[in-house]
Amino acid sequence: MKNYKNIIVLDKVNYTTNTGKTILKDISFNINSSDFISILGPNGAGKTTLFKLILGIEKITSGSIKFNSLTHKDIAYVPQVKTLDRTFPASALELVCTGINKTWSFWNSKKDIMQATEVMSALNAEHLANRQLKNLSGGELQRIYLARAIAKQPKLLLLDEPATGVDFICEKDINKVLTRLNDEDSITIVMITHDFSTAYCHSKNVLLLNKEIIYYGDPQSTLTDKNLMATFSNTIHTHDVKFGIKKC
């Protein structure tokens, strides 16, 4: 793994529900400046919960999460599409502008509109600018909320399955934009995904999670059949599975 400056350090983080169910156990790893981490794991592995602990939405049961030269204001978060709010009475462009202004405004400057339109264009979503959120499909809504997060110009971008519900071409657009943000703007990205090939081709490091860390390292050493079987063994009913990862 490349040696980046730690911006978030998780040390022996545990999370247990009020009913005593263990969701995350002994989670220790660093989120480093300019890193691009993909998190993979089966449903119920604790991936989304991990994000909520980092964001302070949920409180850890034990352990610690330390921020270095970073605050919650420096983080942009895009949750799963099924949780996104489409009832807010605004157009797609107006929502993206809230990422720039950090708040809702009845008036957006030409500069704000140009910046928002540029981000939407990169995600092939500029044609949605005047559509009301309630009239967007799940994939379209996902792109608009991602554009809003990018427009915020965060230091850290947390993405929970950002390509869910979008077509193949749009998925390529999203991955291209994320790679550029990471390579050229040094934005740190942590992304939950179910796509092994996306993780292999676009990540600098990959975290395999199933309530605890199964493996953490660069894509080549992490995304092996052995490690993936150890991560997904409870959801796979054959010992002859070969995980088809398309090389870049």
**Which CATH number does the domain housing residue 204 bear?**
3.40.50.300
Residue 77 lies in a domain: no
Domain final residue, candidates 109, 133, 154: 154
The residue with greater pLDDT, 108 or 34, is 34
Task: List own/partner pairs for 168-176 with CB under 8 A and 24 or more apart.
Answer: 169/124, 170/123, 170/124, 170/139, 170/143, 171/198, 173/122, 173/123, 173/124, 174/123, 174/143, 174/146, 175/201, 175/202
Does 45 share its domain with 107? Answer: no
The predicted model gives 175-182 an average pLDDT of: 94
Does 61 share its domain with 173? Answer: yes
Does 161 share its domain with 50? Answer: yes
Does 162 share its domain with 211? Answer: yes
The predicted model gives 198-220 an average pLDDT of: 97
Q: In the prediction, which pLDDT does 102 show?
A: 74
Does 127 share its domain with 246? Answer: no
Number of domains in the chain: 2
Q: In the prediction, which pLDDT does 244 show?
A: 63
Domain final residue, candidates 103, 135, 154: 154
Q: Kindly report the pTM of this predicted structure.
A: 0.90
Does 164 share its domain with 216? Answer: yes
The predicted model gives 169-182 an average pLDDT of: 91
Among 22-31, 165-174, 230-239, whose mean pLDDT is lowest?
A: 230-239
Does 175 share its domain with 228? Answer: yes
Does 53 share its domain with 119? Answer: no
Domain that holds residue 16: 1-70+155-248
Average pLDDT, the chain: 90
Beta carbons within 8 Å of 109's beta carbon, 6+ residues apart:
none
The predicted model gives 98-124 an average pLDDT of: 87
Does 63 share its domain with 9? Answer: yes
Does 32 share its domain with 125? Answer: no
In angstroms, the CA 71 to CA 156 distance is: 10
Identify the three-state secondary structure at position 124.
Answer: coil
Does 66 share its domain with 182? Answer: yes
The pLDDT of residue 106 is above 80: no
